[in-house]
Amino acid sequence: MNVPLRSVLIVSCLLAGRLLAANQPNVLFIAIDDQNDWIGALGGHSQAKTPNIDGLAKSGTLFANAHCQAPLCNPSRSSLLTGLRPSTTGIYGLAPGIRDVERTKNHVTLPQTFTSAGYFTYACGKIYHDGSFKPKDRGAEFNEWGPSPGPGRPPKPFANLPEPRHPAMDWGPWPARDEDHGDYKIATAAIEALQRAPQDKPFFVACGFRLPHVPCYAPQKWFDLYPDATLKLPPMLEGDRQDTPRFSWYLHWKLPEPRLQTLRERGELRPLVRAYLASTSFMDAQVGRVLAALEASGRAKDTVIVLWSDHGYHLGEKEISGKNTLWDRSTHVPLVFAGPGVSAGAVSRRPVELLDIFPTLLDLTGMPARSDLDGISLRPQLRRADAPRERPAITTHNHDNHTIRTERWRYIKYANGAEELYDVQVDPNEWKNLAGDAAFTATKTALAKWLPKVNAKPAPGSANRILTYDPVTEEVIWEGKPVGKNDPIPMF
């Protein structure tokens, strides 16, 4: 009789849980939405004020070269929580959810692994992508699902943008009090879960903040940290896209996020940058509240903490705002581990992936290793930050578009064969595409060896932000509509 792998894994975890759960480390799992490297400890923006995340980094190990598997919420989170690459599952868009995909419908996820092992498991805020889990499937993931409020809405939008706009495309000082913001309420829910977590078993508490995802709302006092008169904009190069392939535009052909041209024309670039920084600082304060509650619980010394963001965010760089690209601003994310088994005050510059969180947490908590995961445990780097790393970081956006990130290089290969190559040690802003220079042919060949060998087509039901390319007809389809070779690039 053939027994499904999912059933075998659940039984294994249950047996392991009965033997080990009582003295296993706890896990505090903190997710951030759309957070790029504008974190004090990462130095992505010189004015970023994030004392709580910086303090967590000092108490543990900061991965300064961590990258997402996909620069979009659903595929990124689905990848992290299943431990499988988007190119393995075919999950590239905002739909479908993992239980609606053949490859992952029976796959045992990260939270399910801990739930099955006897942990008290709790989630609040945004952990999985909103709406990706049907109510009938939730019980197997976490023992409890707490509140997941959004930021709310002011009476009218702040941002001066063309109409009609997506309701999330806004930024400004709102609400008046911290306590009225959704992220404050999410932190409160996590705090309450930590306070009432059973003492006779370990806990896995997942807390997912929504900021700095748009709409970038935060109370006025957080905007006051970044006076407009002294605000620094990110470095931008005029004509930056002149040496990038046209195919790079197809990855974000038409999106709700405004392009740089629109932000400048409407006088919204500085307000957006300021609001993003303010939102980041407000979110950081909520992280601080949760960390303080963990300390007050008396269980901090027995708790592994991991903090991560699902992907980065452009604020004018490469002539866009938003994500959906294969450049550093979109793939580079904060990743911090702290707690038992983790070196304190360490910074690792090895290229790592969000995929690695799943096997690392199994390793740190003494759970059985899994052979069905695409990631690699970071335990060696958590012991010694400069420990060798077997492979680079790989990010995928839609079918057969990949980027390879090492300590020195970023190589991009698009579905139509177009390429980009950047020496990020001398060109950290990725302004000079070296792919056309014959002197770097060997470098490209070496990096291309890491491109995924499995490239699943979009899973049935794929929708929103989906790009497909037919190599025979060279037809490009963006969200169900063909894009002509000479169609003007949308600049709004």
Per-residue pLDDT, 17: 44
Residue 6 has pLDDT above 60, yes or no: no
Q: Residue 184: phi, psi to the nearest 5?
A: -65, -40
Per-residue pLDDT, 266: 98
- For 420-433, write each residue's pLDDT tens digit: 999 999 999 999 99
Residue 193 has pLDDT above 80, yes or no: yes
For residue 223 the two structure tokens come to: 């905007």
Q: Mean pLDDT across the stretch 464-489?
A: 97
Show the domains of the chain with their CATH numbers.
Answer: 5-396 (3.40.720.10)
Per-residue pLDDT, 492: 84
| All residues at 6 or more sequence positions from 395 whose CB lies less than 8 Å from its CB, including other chains | 67, 68, 69, 70, 71, 326, 331, 402, 403, 405
Q: DSSP for 432-483, please give it.
A: ---TT-GGGHHHHHHHHTTS-S--PPPPTT-BSS-EEEETTTTEEEETTEEE
Residue 406 half-sphere exposure, CB side, CA atoms within 13 Å? Answer: 17
Q: Residue 393: phi, psi to the nearest 5?
A: -90, 140
Q: For the chain, percent helix, then strand, then coil, each to nearest 5?
A: 35, 20, 50
Catalytically annotated residues = 73, 129
Would you call 32 exposed, middle or buried from its count of C-beta atoms within 10 A (0-12, 13-18, 19+)? buried
- For 314-354, write each residue's pLDDT tens digit: 999 999 999 999 999 999 999 999 999 999 999 999 999 99
- For 33-55, write each residue's pLDDT tens digit: 999 999 999 999 999 999 999 99
Q: Residue 281: phi, psi to the nearest 5?
A: -65, -40
Q: How confident is the model at residue 9 (pLDDT cuts 50, 70, 90)?
A: low
Q: Residue 192: phi, psi to the nearest 5?
A: -65, -35
Residue 304 has pLDDT above 70, yes or no: yes
Count of all residues that appear for the chain in the document:
492
Distance CA 31, CA 77 (A): 10
- Taking the CB of residue 106, how many other CB atoms lie within 10 A of it? 13
Averaged pLDDT of the chain: 95
Continuous segment of H or E residues that includes residue 52: helix 51-59
